[in-house]
Structures are given as structure tokens and as C-alpha cells.
């Protein structure tokens, strides 16, 4: 089962370096080692789900990583020295020594943007840190179309709810609280609930906040 999605992540270059090629214990510790699977026997559990649905699952996972990494970047900016006694830390330590000697301690684009490493101590607003719309939705055709469709359906549902409500009010003056009036009122409530559900789902393409105890709340 795989989710093919991309998103701009506001983390410093050290994080990319560590996760990409300079952390020999990453897979063993965080992912409990490597595993091999027979691709011919794999089942695609997402084949019945729309692409945008799997992307929302991807966002839920990545948001937590982004929020935590933002705190790590701020802590790293406040500490100039670290103690790394483990044998697995020799490669990262050697890399930093090499980079300090031959690259002045940073990559060429250091300081070009905040995300690239220009201002690791700057606290970002949660809406900016966990933004989904500008970092993914506008660039993904599946999510962009789904977001536009949900906005359209939400407006149609609100119009339908209003029309049904006024129709029920008008019918009351002629028939009283009859069965047709109750049906119109129930349909109006259903349309209003559908509009609310569509609004909440569409918000998942823009920004989803964490509860007040989450680490990302410390950035505001």
C-alpha cells in the first residue's frame, strides 16, 4: 500500500541530511529494521478510495512530524554543542567536521529562506507551520479538484436548505403542521447537515489544528 503525494515541508537542511543519508540508525531505531515484501502478492487497499482521500491520511501523519521537527529546529538553534558518545554517531560527527572544514559549516543555500535554514529560532504561526493548501492542495490536481467540488456542493446544499426551509414555512400557512411540511423541514435539516459536513471536509485541504496541548501550539 503506497501513497504518492508531495508537500513542501518547512524544515532545515540538517533534517533532510540526517534522514536522507547521514543517520545509520534511522531505519533500525525508528522503523524497526528493513523488511522485504513480495510485490506480486501485494494488495492495494487504497484502490477503492479516491486519491484525495489517501492524501488526507498522508497529511495527518506528516503534520505531527512537521510540528515536532519545528521544536527540534528551535532547540538546535539554542545549543551549539552536543554529546554523541554512540558509535553510530561517528558518521554524522565526521560529516559535520568535514562540512565545517570545507563548507564553512553549512550548505551553499544556508540562509536563503527560513525553511532552508535562514532563521531556525523564528517561531512560525500554526496556520503557516501546518498549512496544507499552499504546500500541497494548489499543486495537486486531485486535491484541488476535490476541494473545489466540495466548495460547490456546500453552496448548493446551503441553497437547497434555504429553499426547503422557506417552502416548509409557506406550506404551514396553508396546510398547518402536516406530513409534507415535516418532510420539507427534515430535508432542509439534512441539506444543512450535509453543507456542514462538506465544509469540515474541505477544511482538511487547507489547515487542521491540533489540540491545545500539542507542541505546535507553542509556535504562536
Determine contact, residues 175/47, Cβ cutoff 8 Å: no
60-108: pLDDT as tens digits: 888 877 777 777 777 666 666 767 777 777 777 787 788 778 776 666 6
* Between residues 141 and 10, the one the model is more confident about: 141
Is the entire prediction scored with pTM above 0.85? no
Q: What is the pLDDT of residue 118?
A: 46
The radius of gyration of the chain from alpha carbons, rounded to an integer in Å, stands at 25
Indicate if 15 and 105 belong to the same structural domain: yes
Residues 138 and 145: their CA atoms lie apart, in Å, by 9
Q: How many CB atoms lie within 10 A of CB 137?
A: 23
- Range of lowest pLDDT (36-40, 176-180, 206-210): 36-40
Q: What is the domain range of residue 158? A: 133-203
Indicate if 114 and 147 belong to the same structural domain: no
153-170: pLDDT as tens digits: 999 999 999 999 888 888
- Cell 570545507 maps to which residue? 102
Domain end (from 86, 101, 123) = 123
User: How many structural domains does the chain have?
Assistant: 2
Indicate if 41 and 62 belong to the same structural domain: yes
Spell out the residues 6+ positions from residue 19 whose beta carbon is closer than 8 angstroms to its own.
26
160-204: pLDDT as tens digits: 999 998 888 888 777 777 787 888 889 999 999 999 999 999 999
How close are the terminal C-alpha atoms of the chain, in Å? 36
Amino acid at each position: 500500500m503506497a501513497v504518492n503525494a508531495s508537500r513542501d515541508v518547512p524544515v532545515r537542511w540538517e533534517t533532510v541530511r540526517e534522514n536522507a543519508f547521514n543517520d545509520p540508525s534511522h531505519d533500525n531505531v525508528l522503523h524497526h529494521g528493513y523488511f522485504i515484501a513480495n510485490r506480486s502478492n501485494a494488495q492495494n487497499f487504497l484502490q477503492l478510495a479516491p486519491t484525495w482521500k489517501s492524501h488526507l491520511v498522508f497529511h495527518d501523519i506528516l503534520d505531527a512530524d512537521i510540528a515536532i521537527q519545528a521544536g527540534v529546529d528551535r532547540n538546535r538553534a539554542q545549543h551549539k554543542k552536543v554529546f554523541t558518545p554512540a558509535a553510530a554517531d561517528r558518521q554524522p560527527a565526521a560529516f559535520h567536521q568535514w562540512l565545517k572544514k570545507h563548507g564553512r559549516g553549512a550548505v551553499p543555500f544556508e540562509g536563503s529562506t527560513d525553511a532552508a535554514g535562514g532563521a531556525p529560532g523564528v517561531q512560525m504561526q500554526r496556520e503557516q507551520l501546518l498549512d496544507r493548501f499552499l504546500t500541497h492542495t494548489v499543486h495537486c490536481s486531485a486535491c484541488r479538484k476535490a476541494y473545489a467540488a466540495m466548495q460547490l456542493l456546500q453552496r448548493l446544499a446551503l441553497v437547497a436548505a434555504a429553499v426547503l426551509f422557506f417552502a416548509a414555512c409557506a406550506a404551514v400557512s396553508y396546510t398547518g403542521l402536516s406530513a409534507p411540511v415535516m418532510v420539507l423541514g427534515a430535508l432542509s435539516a439534512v441539506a444543512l447537515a450535509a453543507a456542514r459536513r462538506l465544509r469540515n471536509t474541505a477544511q482538511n485541504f487547507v489547515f487542521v489544528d491540533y489540540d491545545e496541548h500539542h507542541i505546535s501550539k507553542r509556535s504562536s
